[in-house]
Amino acid sequence: MPEVPDRQLTIYFGSQTGNAEELAGKTAKLAKKFNLQAKVVDIGDVKPENFADTKRVFIITSTWGEGEMPDNAESIWLSTCEQNPSLGSVNFSICAIGDTSYDEFCKAGLDWDAKFNQLGATRVHDIQLCDVDYEPAWESWANSALQAMSDLDTGTITVDESEVVAETTTTQASAVATSGEASEELAALMAGDRSLAILFGSQTGNAAGLAEKTAKLAADYGLVPKVYDMDGFDTSTLATHKRTLIITSTWGEGEMPDNAESLWQTVNTQGPSLSGVHFSVCAIGDTAYDEFCKAGVDWDEKYQSLGASKVHDIQLCDVDFEPPWSLWVAEALPKIACVDSSGTLQIELLEQMKAYGNSSDDEVVSGDYAPGVINKTELTVTLEIFRYCPTAAESGWDTVVCAIPANASIQDMLTAVKNNVDGSLTFRAGDGTGSPTSGVRVNGRLVLADSTSISDVISADGRIKIEPLSGYPVIRDLMVDYSRFEENRIKAKPWMSSSPREGEYLINGMAVGVMESEDAVKLHTASDVMSYQLVHSMSDTVAYDSKYEGPGIHLQRWNRVNDPRSSEKYKNSLIASLNHPTGVWG
C-alpha cells in the first residue's frame, strides 16, 4: 500500500441548536483551499481515545445554559475527564460559540481548550471566542487556523491503493471545468459581475428561510448573493439586478404577503422596464385554497410582461415546500449563474456550470448547508419486524440482526432488509423529508420512517421493534390502508369557507382581508402538522371503533372553527359534526 502525505483534519462539533454543526461544515469546505482533507464528526459519537486518531483536530462547540456542554458533548466530556488519554501527537485549535450576556461566556470551548492542553496536545492557534454574531469571528479564526494546520508537516499515512486511484480520477474529472477552450469561456463569465438578488415575500418566515438557504447554495456557482426583503425595496433598482430570484408565499385568498404588497402595487403602478433582467420564481402555497400560489404566479407573469427573461419555469410548492424548492434551486441556480455581467444568458455553458457547482463540494448538500461528511458510528441492531401475509391470512414477527450507521433512517434500515434479506417486505416509502404516509410504530413511538434516525429510537439494549400504525387496516406487513381516512376527510370538507369580513382597500381599489398577526401565528402553529394520518393513529379509540373519524380529521375541523375567516354557517356545521356520534364529543 502506498504512502501519501498526511493532510487529514478532523473537525469535531458540539452543538445544541445546529450553529456549531453549521460552522463545522463550512470549515470543512474551506479546508479544501488549504489542501486539507477534512472530516466532520459529531463529538458525541467518539470515545476519548479517538481524539488521537488524527494529528490535526478542530473543536467547534457552543455553550449551553450556565456554562454547560451542549447535550451531544456532555458524555464524551465526562469520559475524557475520567480517562485523560494522551494527546501528545495531536495539534489542535478551538472555536467557541457563546453569548456575552451570560456569566460563563464560551465556557464549553474554554474547557476543551484547557483539557487538550493538559493532555499534551499542541495548540497551533489561540482559541476563538465568538459572541451571538459568530460568523465574522469564526471566519477570521478559520482562515488563520487552517493555514496553521496546512503548514504542519505531520509525516505520511498509508492508504489503500484504490483510494489513491479514486482521488486521482476525481481530480481529473473536476479539472474538466477549469481547462480547455470551453472552460476559458466559463472563466471569462466568472470573472465579471456575479451579483444575484434574491427577493422574498414572506408572511410566516418560510419564504425568508428558503431565500437564505438559496443564498448559501448560490456561492457554489460563483455567485455573490444578497437577500432582499420586499418590504422597503427600491423599485427603481429592479432593472439593475440582472440576475433575480423571487421566493414568495401567498396569503389569504390569493393575496400578497404583507411585506410584498407595497412593492407589488408600486411595480404595477410604475411598470418599470426589466428587459435586461433574467429571473425565476419559487412560489409557496396551499392546494387547499383556490388561489394556489397566486402571489408567485402574479410575480412570474408581471416580470415577463415588463420584458424580463425567464431562465427557469416557476416552481409551485405545496405546504411541504422543501422537496419542490430543492428541485427548483438545483436547476434555477446554475442557469441564472450562466448570465454574464452584460445580462446575456450563455446557456451553452450550462453543463460546465453544473460541473463547476458540483465540483466545489464533494459532499451531498443536505438540509440548510453543504457540510463535510458527518461521521456516524455504526450500530448493531436487533430488528423485530411485524409481518402479515394477506394470502395466507397469517401474521408474525421476523428478527434480523444488522449493522447500520446511527444516522440512517428507519426507512434506510427497512430498505436494506428488503434488498438484502427479504424482497417481499412491504412498507410505504417516503421521499426523505417526512412524508405523511410513511408512518410506523417504532418501540411504541409513532414516527415517520423516512425522516426518523435509528439513533433517536433504538432502545438501550440495541433493539428496534417496528409494527404498522394502529387504527388502519393492514394491507401487508407494515403497509396500512388510508382510504377510509381519506374518505372521512373528504366528507369533513376541512377547507376554507369564508364570509365577508373586515378589510382594507389597496391602492388599486382592490379589497383585501386583514387579520391580526397574533391570530395568523396561532392558526399556522395549530396547522403545523406533518402527518394527519399519524395524528389519527394517536387515538386509542380508532383501533376499536371503525365509525369514529379520529383526531386527524377533527383537528382539521377544529382549526377551521377557530379561523376568524370562516363563516358562522360553516363554523356551526363543523361544530355539529364534532358533536355527532362519530365526532370528538359524540
- Tens digit of each residue's pLDDT (9 = 90 or more) over 391-419: 999 999 999 998 888 788 999 999 999 98
Instruction: Supply the pLDDT for residue 165.
Output: 39
- How much helix, strand and coil, in percent to the nearest 5, is found in the chain? 40, 25, 35
Q: Are 197 and 315 within one domain?
A: yes
Q: How many CB atoms lie within 10 A of CB 436?
A: 18
Report, as an integer, the average pLDDT of 441-463.
91
pLDDT tens track for 530-539: 898 988 888 8
Q: How many CA atoms lie within 13 A of 104 on its CB side?
A: 13
Instruction: Supply the pLDDT for residue 183.
Output: 65
Which of the listed residues 304, 324, 359 is the one where a domain comes to its end? 359
What single-letter amino acid sits at 531?
Answer: S
Report, as an integer, the average pLDDT of 281-305.
93
Does 368 fall in a domain? no
Return the biggest CA–CA distance within the chain.
Answer: 79
Decide if pLDDT at 373 tops 70.
no
Which of the listed residues 304, 326, 359 is the one where a domain comes to its end? 359
Instruction: Supply the pLDDT for residue 275.
Output: 92
Phi–psi pair at 404, nearest 5 degrees = -150, 145
Decide if pLDDT at 560 tops 90.
no
Q: Are 491 and 447 within one domain?
A: no
What's the pLDDT band for 180 if we cut at 50, 70, 90?
A: very low
Does 301 fall in a domain? yes
Decide if pLDDT at 555 tops 50.
yes
Task: Determine the Cα–Cα distance for residues 556 and 206; give it in Å rounded to an integer.
Answer: 21
pLDDT tens track for 128-150: 999 988 989 999 999 999 999 98
Instruction: Supply the pLDDT for residue 167.
Output: 42
Percent residues over pLDDT 90 in the chain: 50
What's the pLDDT band for 362 if we cut at 50, 70, 90?
A: very low
Q: Are 150 and 21 within one domain?
A: yes
SS3 call for 350: helix
Q: Are 7 and 145 within one domain?
A: yes
Q: How many CB atoms lie within 10 A of CB 137?
A: 16
Which of the listed residues 359, 386, 420 is the one where a domain comes to its end? 359
What single-letter amino acid sits at 460?
Answer: A
Decide if pLDDT at 160 tops 80.
no
Instruction: Supply the pLDDT for residue 374.
Output: 53
Instruction: Supply the pLDDT for residue 141.
Output: 95
Q: Are 352 and 396 within one domain?
A: no
The pTM of this model reads: 0.40
Task: Determine the Cα–Cα distance for residues 3 and 160; give it in Å rounded to an integer.
Answer: 9
Does 165 fall in a domain? no
What's the pLDDT band for 175 if we cut at 50, 70, 90?
A: very low
Residue 399 · residue 382 · CB < 8 Å: yes
Tell me which residue has cell 469535531. 12
Task: State the total domains in the chain.
Answer: 4
Does 432 fall in a domain? yes
Report, as an integer, the average pLDDT of 456-462.
88
- In this structure, what C-alpha cell is assigned to residue 206? 418560510
Q: Where is 93: in which H helix or E strand?
A: strand 91-97
What's the pLDDT band for 86 if we cut at 50, 70, 90?
A: very high
Phi–psi pair at 585, nearest 5 degrees = -110, 10
Report, as an integer, the average pLDDT of 542-546.
76
Q: Are 492 and 575 within one domain?
A: yes
What's the pLDDT band for 84 if we cut at 50, 70, 90?
A: very high
Nearest CA to 247 among 279, 291, 290?
Answer: 279
Does 169 fall in a domain? no
**DSSP 8-state class, residue 214:** H
pLDDT tens track for 330-346: 999 999 999 998 889 99
Instruction: Supply the pLDDT for residue 128.
Output: 96
What's the pLDDT band for 154 if we cut at 50, 70, 90?
A: low
Region for 443 from its dihedrals, namely left if φ exceeds 0, alpha if ψ lies in -120 to 50, beta otherwise:
left
Decide if pLDDT at 546 tops 90.
no
Instruction: Supply the pLDDT for residue 582.
Output: 67
Q: Are 442 and 496 within one domain?
A: no
What's the pLDDT band for 377 if we cut at 50, 70, 90?
A: low
What CATH number is given to the structural domain containing 305? 3.40.50.360
Residue 448 · residue 478 · CB < 8 Å: no
- In this structure, what C-alpha cell is assigned to residue 290? 383556490
Q: Are 137 and 226 within one domain?
A: no
Instruction: Supply the pLDDT for residue 2.
Output: 54
What CATH number is given to the structural domain containing 444? 3.10.20.30
What's the pLDDT band for 504 if we cut at 50, 70, 90?
A: confident
Instruction: Supply the pLDDT for residue 170.
Output: 37
Instruction: Supply the pLDDT for residue 406.
Output: 79
Report, as an integer, the average pLDDT of 282-300.
92
Task: Determine the Cα–Cα distance for residues 66 and 179; give it in Å rounded to an integer.
Answer: 54
Task: Determine the Cα–Cα distance for residues 200 and 230; give it in Å rounded to an integer.
Answer: 6
Nearest CA to 192 among 336, 310, 339?
Answer: 339
Percent residues over pLDDT 70 in the chain: 89
What's the pLDDT band for 12 if we cut at 50, 70, 90?
A: very high
Q: Are 98 and 219 within one domain?
A: no
Q: Are 437 and 539 within one domain?
A: no
Report the length, in residues, of the chain.
Answer: 586
Q: Are 203 and 322 within one domain?
A: yes
Report, as an integer, the average pLDDT of 265-278.
94
Bridge partners (DSSP) of residue 157 are 4
Does 177 fall in a domain? no
Instruction: Supply the pLDDT for residue 156.
Output: 57
The domain of 222 spans 186-359
Does 554 fall in a domain? yes
Q: Calculate the average pLDDT of the chain.
A: 85
What CATH number is given to the structural domain containing 496? 1.10.1060.10
Decide if pLDDT at 247 tops 80.
yes
Does 319 fall in a domain? yes
Q: Where is pLDDT greater, at 402 or 584?
A: 402
Task: Determine the Cα–Cα distance for residues 351 and 358; give it in Å rounded to an integer.
Answer: 11
Q: Are 251 and 129 within one domain?
A: no
